A and B are shown apart, each in its own frame.
Chain A
Amino acid sequence: MYARVSARALARSIPSKAIKATPARLTHSAKAFSTSALSMDAPKKKERVKVHFPGALDSHFSQVLEIREKMEPIDTFRVMDTDGKVLDRSLEPDVTEEFATKIYKDMLTLNVMDLILYEAQRQGRISFYMTNAGEEAYIGSAAALDPEDEIFGQYREAGTLLYRGFTLDQFMNQCYSNDMDLGKGRQMPVHYGSKALHFQTISSPLATQLPQASGAAYAIKRSGKKNCVMCYFGEGAASEGDFHAALNIAATTSAPVIFFCRNNGFAISTPASEQYKGDGIASRGVGYGMHTIRVDGNDVWAVYKATQEARKLAVEKHKPVLIEAMTYRVGHHSTSDDSSAYRSKKEVEDWKRHDNPMVRMRKWLESKGWWDEARENAHKSQQRTAVLKSFAAAEKRKKPAVSEMFNDVYDKLTPNLLEQKKELEELIKKYPEHYDTSNYAKEN
């Protein structure tokens, strides 16, 4: 049978389909194959045939062996230039003075608080701290959310809490793990949480918040509430298995969740260039069948607009969305890190000078006549006083009561916990000289 099929017939049948893959689509693919195919007699245009395989229903059959290396890189959406000038008048933010200045004031307050707490750690007064410098524009994303949208943070999102009304006292009490800390002194500094403000308690293991965010979104979807979940993480966390698990599970359950990647260029010391190949984190969203946006993460209004649009998709259409906000971490990773070991101080200074989210926002506000030097100085000094006052008060407060060591492991104390508690109480009572509890809050 085979011998009877003529060579000509074969030549006709094979390239006829090969040629249909348009050269434009093949920019990065195996050109050798398509070129040889093109050299054959040009066949007539035929309908492209869709595959019938259940795993990729949108694919077409092709006789061109395509080895794809890249997709078209995703553009970075921006509203303002680095001087705070709106690039396209149609994108001019339609916001009030009060709304815009609140965002900027929170960015400033965050800076002031970071400076003081960073120094406090350096003086040994708190054990650990993480600053937000360089990434303050993410507050624009908080501004686009509903106050009842659930937030799952990674750890560098104190600004979103500040925006929602977490008080300076609450920040300081947590960092000092005193008796007023909402977390009862059980977590390291900056592991904030607030049920009232819909901000899930920070969890240290990287990326675990991502699948959890999908779950919280699923719960919201089931409740019928017109809300969504906002989940922050870094480009380093996106290398964890949980990132992939979360995107896939959010896509397959149509969970109303926004995954907000702060791509700040560094995972502690590992630069993004060594963290992954491919077109950033955004390209992966498309791979998981998700709506995806890449945005200039130093541009408050671009971040605000992107989050607004993402929120619409999540809340109204139950679509998960991935936002990749491109930025640069100006500060060290944490107080346990010295970034001068892996990047030059000049590089950091250049970023601060050339593309500073604070400067961009301030210049935009000034162009509207909503901000000036006097207001800047007044707000800074007022916040500095407030932070220092709050800081001193938190430092003076007593530590949580001893019984808080055992509470909340379960909803009620189990027999072994009761036993441990009793044992400790007896020890404290028996040896007061070894167990000084004068610095602990009184038991209720």
Chain B
Amino acid sequence: MSSILKKAAVVSIPNVRQALLRSNPVLANALLAKRAYNSKNGVEMTVRDALNSALEEEMTADEKVYLLGEEVGQYNGAYKVSKGLLDKFGPKRVIDTPITESGFCGLAVGSAFSGLKPVCEFMTWNFAMQAIDQIVNSAAKTHYMSGGNVNCPITFRGPNGAAAGVAAQHSQCFAAWYGSVPGLKVVSPWNSEDAKGLLKAAIRDPNPVVVLENELMYGISFPMSEAALSKDFVVEIGKAKIEKAGTDITIVAHSRSVGFALEAAQLLEKEGICSAEVINLRSIRPLDTETIINSVKKTNRLVTVEGGWPQYGVGSEICAQIMESEAFDHLDAPVVRVTGADVPTPYANNLEAYAFPDTEVIARVIKRTLNKKIGA
């Protein structure tokens, strides 16, 4: 209990700079993107366009791939991720559905049982709760229950996590929900390369894959490497990426939090406080514990960052995995989780800002962890 209280206190410390960054997450991330990468070829792409090109490339490569969901066709998708796909592939491959998540999700699952490779878009993951039985009880388990006879090569995708100003029922992270289900693979991209490579990998994977995108990242541009521009580019599911190498502390994050973690790391490095290693999880399930363990063995300290709730969250799982691994003996300080506050997301701007971790909070937690020593 005490650690949760402490965390809540950490999350809710007001700060002017913090509030500024919060009020303009796009700016914060854009600045960060520029700093984190030196684009060699000078090509940049928004996360939205990266997802769009992943869809287009996979639909071109495989006739069995098709997209369905609410407003994905004529309207080009609620967030324009499917822009131009109806024109290019026609209504047989891009299907506008009625507003019944359980209906079109179930249809997608059934068509996957019959050999198609559907990409099932949820306008946001919040709405997928209407169809979660289809995802958890049918898509995830049928291969197992059928004795390996029936495959379900399906991709579920849509924006996940907190968006801006849409309050409790539209701002929440489902990583822990889907991340706990055997039979599902779950990925959570941060930048454009992640988005393109993971979505393409998800579509090609013979298993059901949940792709947790982030609405606030759609419009942000990131550099794309030469390799990432290729139609053969995929990011392996189940492998994390060390975004920034470091020696003093390990920060593990996924989705939008990776940007904040990187910024906090750079801030502290500039101030000469520490060299932090930042791991972008990329996959929630399978979880790349090996990369985290190896990093912790090197840095001896660990902080996890996520936008989801603290209890039973991604950070909690990482803590448990570290406890059970040889990395535990290498820890110099207790692991700390930086998470969203344990409340439904409030609507009012000022309250919403306090509900989620950002650069300042992460930097503060890193400093505190650096000053701690087990047994001291």
Contacts and interface: CB of A to CB of B under 8 A. Distances in A.
A150 B149 CA distance: 15
Residues of B in contact with A, size category: 35 or more
A211 interface: yes
Contact of B146 (A193, A210, A220, A241): A193
Interface of A: 150, 152, 181-184, 186-187, 191, 193, 195, 200-201, 203-205, 208, 210-220, 222-223, 241-242, 244-246, 248-249, 252-253, 255, 407-411, 414-416
A322 B207 CA distance: 32
B106 A181 contact: no
10 contacts: A183-B146, A195-B150, A210-B106, A215-B111, A216-B113, A222-B116, A252-B97, A253-B107, A410-B143, A416-B287
Given A215-B114, A253-B95, A415-B238, A191 B145 contact: yes
B112 A215 contact: yes
A208 B114 contact: no
B133 A205 contact: yes
Contact of B109 (A187, A215, A217, A220): A215
Given A208-B133, A208-B137, A248-B100, A218 B150 contact: no
Interface string B109-150: 111111110100000000000100110011000111111111
Nearest to A407: B148
Given A187-B145, A208-B134, A415-B286, A216 B100 contact: no
Q: Name the residue in B108, B183, B290 with the highest tally of chain A Cβ atoms < 10 Å from its Cβ.
A: B108
A200 B144 CA distance: 13
Interface of B: 92, 95, 97-98, 100, 102-116, 118, 130, 133-134, 137-138, 142-151, 182-183, 185, 206-207, 238, 286-287, 289-290
Given A208-B137, A415-B286, A195 B103 contact: no
A8 to B, nearest CB: 48
B108 A408 contact: no
A249 B286 contact: no
Contacts of A411: 143, 151, 206-207
B106 A214 contact: yes
5 tightest CB-CB pairs across the interface, nearest first? A211-B106, A215-B110, A245-B103, A212-B110, A219-B114
A184 B147 contact: yes
Nearest to A183: B147
Contacts of B146: 182-183, 193, 195, 201, 408
A211 B150 contact: no
A249 B104 contact: yes
Contact of A218 (B102, B107, B138, B287): B107
Contacts of B290: 415
A407 B204 CA distance: 20
Nearest to A411: B206
Contacts of B145: 183, 186-187, 191, 193, 201, 203
Given A183-B146, A216-B110, 8 more contacts: A181-B147, A195-B149, A203-B142, A212-B107, A215-B106, A248-B98, A255-B107, A416-B287
